[in-house]
Amino acid sequence: MSETMRAVVLDKPGRVRVEEIPRPVIQSPTDAIVRVTTAAICGSDLHLIDRKIPGMEEGDVVGHEFVGVIEDIGDAVMTMEPGQRVVASMFPACGHCRSCMRHQYRTCPSFQIFGSGPGFGDLLGAQTDFVRVPLADMTLATIPDRMSDEDAVFTGDILATAYQGLADGGVRHGDSVAIVGAGPVGQLAVMCAPLFGVDQVFAIDLVPERLEAAKALGAIPVDARLGDPSDSIFDQTRNLGADVVLEAVGNEAALETAWSVVRTGGTVAMIGVLYDEDWPVSAGDNWLRAVTVKPIVGDPLTHRHDLLRLIETGKLDPARIISHTMSLDDAADAYQMFKEHRANKVVLKTGEE
């Protein structure tokens, strides 16, 4: 058996390459080694390769959305065994500390995000042939036999993030929801919105293809190239604005749009990756409008089992957002296509099912 494997690593800013690196080994009794079969490129991966989030360096392995087969386990792994098909949460957590008991995994001492650099625990990424998964009993979930990799993979991040944005945003029956950014996570939020009984769901974007995709999922498309989105949304909500707004891009312009379309007393849930953006309004403006702000770090550990059941019963069809399936060897081209909006959502196959 080879002691090396392929991995997608940072190249010069804005690009990745595929190179051979050492295969991972068990480092802790609670580890598992997973043979990756499918990995997805996430919008937050673009932030990392563009160095928006500092700390990532050339040669660092990327990727946090993945499905695979357990190859090996540590002596203390109790609920997983070799040969099982599994989907991973984008982050490990211990499952038994005070934070975990409250589902506040971001403050678990074991919190790390795969392939996201030293600011998030410096855990190697999963766009590879094999990946070491810490705290495997908590981090991994088994996949129903008849479920495809493509359906399961998004429960590890963007589907759970979209669902949580709606849940933590306090969406209620009859609400109007505006989603700023009709990329993959925004499209999945549109897909999940009927589960919450929404009255209207708007999708705001600049890319016609993404707006068409959101429309096909049931959204009212709002093309930000054609004018101020707030004019359209206030006109269609009896001049009230959206009850809940999901910012699903992660930049200053999207934040400004979110604040412009939310109603007085509404909620803005920030599910895009933000780092050094300026706040779009003053504290006084926010106080006068009584807007609730909800920063969201997706929580697959809480939601993935419910989401897997919703997929299994046909209530969700996340695989429909995939536009391209490519080989891991073609990752550099896949990233460029995704970055240039020539691909909606790309999954990478290792060739080992």
* Pairwise pLDDT comparison (9 vs 44), residue with the higher score: 9
Q: What is the mean pLDDT of residues 339-345?
A: 94
**pLDDT at residue 274, as a whole number:** 76
Mean residue pLDDT of the chain comes to 94
Render pLDDT for 97-147 as a digit per residue (tens, 0 to 9).
999 999 999 999 999 999 998 888 889 999 999 999 999 999 999 999 999
* pLDDT of 316 above 80: yes
Share of the chain above pLDDT 90, in %: 84
Render pLDDT for 255-276 as a digit per residue (tens, 0 to 9).
999 999 999 999 999 998 777 7
**pLDDT at residue 196, as a whole number:** 96
* Pair type for strands 242-247 and 262-270: parallel
Of 126, 136, 186, 135, give the one whose Cα is nearest residue 161. 186
Render pLDDT for 164-175 as a digit per residue (tens, 0 to 9).
999 999 999 999
Render pLDDT for 164-217 as a digit per residue (tens, 0 to 9).
999 999 999 999 999 999 999 999 999 999 999 999 999 999 999 999 999 999
Q: What is the mean pLDDT of residues 12-20?
A: 93
Q: What is the mean pLDDT of residues 216-239?
A: 95
**pLDDT at residue 52, as a whole number:** 74
Q: Specify which residues 16 forms β-bridges with.
A: 10
pLDDT bracket for residue 50 (50, 70, 90)? confident
pLDDT bracket for residue 53 (50, 70, 90)? confident
* pLDDT of 18 above 60: yes
**pLDDT at residue 273, as a whole number:** 79
Give residue limits of the domains in the chain. Answer: 4-157+299-349, 159-295
Distance CA 179, CA 171 (A): 12
Which residues contact residue 107 at a Cβ distance below 8 angstroms, ignoring those fewer than 6 apart?
A: 99
Q: Which amino acid is at 48?
A: L
Distance CA 32, CA 13 (A): 32
**pLDDT at residue 251, as a whole number:** 87
**pLDDT at residue 213, as a whole number:** 96
Residue 337: C-alpha distances to residues 105, 118, 165, 331, 341 (Å): 33, 27, 27, 10, 6
Distance CA 93, CA 24 (A): 20
Other CB atoms closer than 10 Å to residue 308's CB: what's the count? 21
Structure token digits, residue 282? 């003053």
- The per-residue b/e assignment along 110-123, b for 16 or more CB within 10 angstroms, e otherwise, is bbbbbbbbeebeeb
Region at 55 (left for phi over 0; alpha for psi -120 to 50; beta for the rest): left
Domain 4-157+299-349: what homologous superfamily? Medium-chain alcohol dehydrogenases, catalytic domain (3.90.180.10)
Distance CA 206, CA 192 (A): 22
CATH class entry, domain 159-295: alpha beta
